[in-house]
């Protein structure tokens, strides 16, 4: 059976041979135009005058598009319509598109875009979270979840600590930047090839921008060169601008952001600050906790309500919090509109609670692992989250116990201490951190999917579903599911471009739920066809349904054995439909917005990691020496793909927490917009020792697709172990009992500041 096997990604060979088609590789008609955005240089202000005459007169330029050229709505915001495609008078971040220019070549468009003369009337800008909090600059109402009597219990707690957490943002740095190709069709139609996680939303936004209807717009995506959340909502900006130009000129239009433009124009992970107040007992068990979360949303809503909603429900991580209050402020700033990024607010919340655990442990001189374990959700007791969902599938005890053993945590703790006692320059640190992550879109309505399966009369199968491929392997997993359902070899299945005209009204491929949702929908479609074939065979051969078996490309019908191909060919002649749609919606989930309680997640995914680092106390540089990971993916659909997701997610998290630093200057301009100044992990940052394993014999207790679990986002949070290993090493470099003031990312500068708290702040 194809399900559960370690099968290579369907495009693996195409990726390495260069044959895989990305949006920019699609052959374009010879009259194709290339577009570029002209962007604002100020963070907040009004455009007093915009002189585009030199732009329009530049070599090769065919059209300059401004708000006046948009036939429909000048907006690409999905939830709230507060995202202009081109700023119309009011500028709200440095880098905001003001216009687009289309020329006969890409270079000509880029050159022309820089020739605009714009005069602004500048307005005061709020650029960071603390300033926004001080000014109560919020994009949407703050939200709060309370359970028990946290304030009262805090006052009575045996021990109490207050602290703050600073967590940076992150650029998606997908290898393929944002891109769309819009091709005008007859009768007012528009075909858009878009590098998007959300073809349906691109379709809807392009239709609104063009002043037309959804049925006139088709959006296709064969694959993305990475999305990581960055192409969930904001791919629509690029597609809409390209479509507006294509409509106006009647010519195919490609809009591709180069790295600089992509980093300056499009949103990132939300940076957060948090203040906490925790009360605990002598064993480090939390008695009461209050947390204030505040995030930088940027100038518009985008997905910020949902991102912060996920943060609001992830402060517990794997810990039972009895008396707790969490408040979430969604700060409006004059910076780019932040968006989805792997983990979607969850990782930031986990960083907060893990710092709380670490501080408790340090204040009681206990091992942080013991404090963490003392606070774990119980099994059958202390098992209800502060938003009312029962934790029914708790495997964190098993994971932690096993990992503690296999990583030799205790022995290595002693080895690290011995090393630190004997070395003054290089200090080492060790940490084990757990992960629990809720699976389902927090907005219940997105938890649905559709698929279309066509069986051709030669026995081959064409598979289409609403999920998009961004490297994560959703296509191979869904193909494995369909192959299993029809009992055919994987080679019989062909996976096709995601296309809004084949499967409509889809959700974004996001929230790690791509295979969960589309796997179920595709299984339903294939099952419908199989059941039709069973009916037909029962009648034809006078057998009972349970005498018909599909496996290995054959169909057993009573005593007969036929090939799948023969059965299908005969069914066609008998006028049996060989094509079907399939549909799935996640059961059991609900959310009461007024009470802030419910069951937002179908289930939880778990994992834990032990990381060991070395820091150079003279330079602040850090090195990850070893990582041990044990991660829960239920009954894996494809262990090869899942291990890839665990490793990739982990290292992406390491980048977020150690080296990727976004720096805006005092004028609100992003200064780290290229790999020269924005450092993502390289292959050389992978630790010399890495033991990565999936939790075995742990099928999902819920009826998910073949009892698997989602894997896309949760492993990113395993990287918090690296941040804590660095904290541990910093502690070894500081006098005993000294406070550790280490933000994320723990860059060399931040580490150096943390371990030399009294030194002049030359890096400040
Ligand atoms: N893996 C790769 N290679 N590239 C990506 O862009 N995106 C991540 C994750 N893994 C991503 C990835 C994010 S943010 C999500 S939500 C999931 O994949 C989406 O895919 P899935 O739901 O099919 O797991
Ligand atoms: N995760 C990812 N993307 C989303 C979500 C979510 O929970 N909700 C809306 N878009
Ligand atoms: Mo992933 S942040 O849900 O696209």
Q: CA 649 to CA 612: how far, in whole Å?
A: 18
503: CA distance to ligand 3 center in Å? Answer: 21
> In the prediction, which pLDDT does 197 show?
98
Q: CA 689 to CA 498: how far, in whole Å?
A: 39
> In the prediction, which pLDDT does 763 show?
46
> In the prediction, which pLDDT does 182 show?
99
pLDDT digits (tens, 9 = 90+) for 335-393: 999 999 999 999 999 999 999 999 999 999 999 999 999 999 999 999 999 999 999 99
**What's the whole-number average pLDDT of the chain?**
97
Mean pLDDT, residues 481-499: 97
Q: How confident is the model at residue 590 (pLDDT cuts 50, 70, 90)?
A: very high
Q: Nearest to residue 343, comparing CAs of 299, 313, 369, 384?
A: 313
Query: Cβ distance 357 to 371 under 8 Å?
Result: yes
Task: Report the nearest-CA residue for atom 5 of ligand 2.
Answer: 441
DSSP structure string for 89-125: SEE-STT-EEEEEEESSHHHHHHHHTT-EEEEEE---
User: Would the pLDDT of 289 be above 60?
Assistant: yes
Known active-site residue 713: yes
Q: How confident is the model at residue 143 (pLDDT cuts 50, 70, 90)?
A: very high
173: CA distance to ligand 2 center in Å? Answer: 19
Mean pLDDT, residues 509-534: 98
Q: What is the DSSP letter of 269?
A: B
User: Would the pLDDT of 764 be above 50?
Assistant: no
For residue 10, say if its preceding peptide bond is cis, omega within 30 degrees of 0: no
Kindly state the percentage of the chain with pLDDT values over 70: 99
User: Would the pLDDT of 267 be above 70?
Assistant: yes
Look-up: residue for tokens 């999917």? 449
User: Would the pLDDT of 135 be above 50?
Assistant: yes
Locate the ligand 1 atom nearest the alpha carbon of residue 341 and give its number: 14
Ligand 1 mutation pick, 172, 310, 468, 470, max ligand atoms within 8 A of CB: 470
Mean pLDDT, residues 36-53: 98
Mean pLDDT, residues 176-184: 98
Whether ligand 3 lies within 6 angstroms of the CB of 177 is answered as no
Which one of the listed residues 201, 359, 469, 713 is annotated catalytic? 713
693: CA distance to ligand 1 center in Å? Answer: 19
Q: CA 450 to CA 203: how far, in whole Å?
A: 16
What sign has the CA pseudo-torsion 468, 471, 472, 476?
positive
pLDDT digits (tens, 9 = 90+) for 196-221: 999 999 999 999 999 999 999 999 99
713: CA distance to ligand 1 center in Å? Answer: 7
User: Would the pLDDT of 762 be above 70?
Assistant: no
Q: How confident is the model at residue 1 (pLDDT cuts 50, 70, 90)?
A: confident
Tell me the three state secondary structure of residue 645: helix
- Cα separations in angstroms, 741 against 315, 420, 754, 760: 20, 20, 5, 15
CA count, 13 A, side-chain hemisphere, 299? 22
User: Would the pLDDT of 243 be above 70?
Assistant: yes
pLDDT digits (tens, 9 = 90+) for 120-130: 999 999 999 99
Pocket, ligand 1, Cβ cutoff 6 A: 226-229, 342, 467, 470-472, 474, 509-515, 645, 648, 710, 712-713
DSSP structure string for 118-171: EEEEE-----SHHHHHHTT-BSS--EEEEES-HHHHHHH-SEEEEEEEEE--B-
> In the prediction, which pLDDT does 757 show?
72
Pocket, ligand 2, Cβ cutoff 6 A: 232, 303, 306, 310, 340, 344, 441-443, 446, 508, 510-511
> In the prediction, which pLDDT does 758 show?
64
User: Would the pLDDT of 760 be above 70?
Assistant: no
Locate the ligand 3 atom nearest the alpha carbon of residue 511 and give its number: 3
Question: What is the number of the ligand closest to the CA of 514?
Answer: 1
Ligand 2 mutation pick, 78, 387, 441, max ligand atoms within 8 A of CB: 441
pLDDT digits (tens, 9 = 90+) for 672-698: 999 999 999 999 999 999 999 999 999
How many other CB atoms are there within 10 angstroms of residue 57's CB atom? Answer: 11
């Amino acid at each position: 059976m194809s399900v559960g096997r370690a099968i290579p990604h369907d495009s693996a060979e195409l990726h390495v041979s260069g044959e895989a088609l990305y949006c920019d590789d699609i052959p374009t008609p010879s009259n194709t135009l290339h577009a570029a955005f002209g962007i604002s240089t100020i963070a907040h202000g009004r455009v007093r005058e915009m002189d585009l005459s030199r732009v329009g007169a530049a070599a090769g330029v065919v059209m300059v598009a401004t708000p006046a050229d948009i036939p429909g709505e000048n907006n690409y915001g999905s939830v709230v319509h507060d995202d202009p495609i081109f700023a119309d008078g009011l500028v709200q971040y440095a880098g905001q598109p003001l216009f687009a220019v289309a020329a006969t070549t890409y270079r000509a468009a880029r050159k022309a875009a820089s020739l605009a003369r714009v005069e602004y009337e500048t307005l005061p800008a709020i650029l960071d979270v603390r300033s926004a909090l001080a000014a109560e600059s919020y994009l949407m109402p703050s939200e709060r979840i309370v359970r028990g009597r946290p304030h009262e219990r805090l006052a009575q707690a045996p021990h109490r600590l207050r602290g703050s957490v600073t967590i940076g943002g992150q650029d998606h740095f997908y290898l393929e930047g944002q891109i769309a190709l819009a091709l005008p069709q007859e009768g007012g139609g528009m075909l858009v090839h878009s590098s998007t996680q959300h073809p349906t939303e691109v379709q809807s936004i392009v239709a609104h921008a063009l002043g037309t209807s959804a049925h006139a717009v088709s959006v296709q995506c064969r694959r993305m060169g990475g999305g990581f959340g960055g192409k969930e909502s904001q791919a629509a900006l690029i597609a809409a601008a390209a479509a507006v130009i294509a409509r106006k000129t009647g010519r195919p239009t490609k809009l591709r952001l180069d790295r600089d433009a992509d980093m300056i124009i499009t949103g990132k992970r939300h940076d957060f600050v948090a203040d906490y107040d925790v009360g605990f007992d002598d064993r480090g068990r939390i008695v009461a906790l209050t947390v204030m979360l505040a995030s930088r949303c940027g100038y518009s809503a985008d997905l910020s309500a949902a991102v912060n909603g996920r943060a609001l429900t992830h402060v517990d991580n794997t810990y039972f919090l009895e008396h707790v209050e969490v408040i979430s402020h969604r700060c409006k700033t004059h910076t780019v509109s932040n968006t989805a990024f792997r983990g979607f607010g969850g990782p930031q919340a986990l960083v907060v609670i893990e710092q709380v655990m670490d501080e408790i442990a340090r204040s009681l001189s206990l091992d942080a692992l013991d404090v963490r374990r003392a606070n774990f959700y119980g099994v059958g007791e202390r098992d209800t989250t502060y938003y009312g969902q029962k934790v029914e599938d708790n495997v964190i005890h098993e994971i932690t116990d096993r990992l503690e053993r296999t990583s030799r945590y205790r022995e290595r703790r002693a080895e690290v201490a011995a090393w630190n006692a004997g070395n003054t320059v290089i200090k080492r640190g060790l940490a084990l951190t757990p992960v629990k992550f809720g699976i389902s879109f927090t907005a219940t309505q997105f938890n649905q999917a559709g698929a279309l399966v066509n069986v051709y009369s030669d026995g081959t199968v064409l598979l289409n579903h609403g999920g998009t491929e961004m490297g994560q392997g959703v296509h191979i997993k869904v193909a494995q599911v369909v192959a299993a359902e029809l009992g055919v070899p994987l080679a019989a299945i062909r996976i096709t471009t995601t296309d809004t005209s084949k499967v409509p009204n889809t959700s974004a491929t996001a929230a790690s739920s791509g295979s969960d949702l589309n796997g179920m929908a595709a299984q339903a479609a294939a099952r419908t066809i199989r059941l039709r074939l069973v009916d037909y065979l029962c009648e034809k051969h006078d057998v009972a349904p349970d005498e018909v078996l599909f496996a290995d490309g054959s169909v057993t019908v009573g005593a007969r054995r036929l090939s799948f191909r023969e059965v299908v060919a005969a069914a066609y002649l008998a006028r049996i439909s060989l094509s079907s749609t399939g549909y799935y919606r996640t059961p059991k989930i609900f959310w009461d917005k007024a009470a802030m309680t419910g069951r937002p997640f179908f289930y939880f995914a778990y994992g834990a990691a032990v990381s060991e680092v070395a820091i150079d106390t003279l330079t602040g540089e850090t090195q990850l020496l070893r990582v041990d990971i044990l991660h829960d993916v239920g009954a894996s659909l494809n262990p090869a793909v899942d291990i890839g997701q665990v490793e990739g997610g982990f290292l992406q998290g390491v980048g977020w927490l150690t080296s990727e630093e976004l720096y805006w200057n005092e004028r609100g301009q992003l200064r780290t917009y290229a790999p020269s100044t924005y450092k993502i992990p390289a292959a050389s940052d992978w630790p010399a020792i890495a033991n990565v394993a999936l939790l075995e014999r742990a099928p999902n207790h819920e009826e998910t697709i073949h009892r698997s679990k989602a894997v896309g986002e949760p492993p990113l949070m395993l990287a918090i172990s690296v941040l804590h290993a660095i904290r541990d090493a910093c502690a070894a470099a500081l006098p005993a009992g000294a406070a550790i003031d280490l933000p994320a990312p723990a860059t060399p500068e931040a580490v150096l500041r943390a371990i030399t708290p009294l030194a002049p702040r030359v890096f400040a």
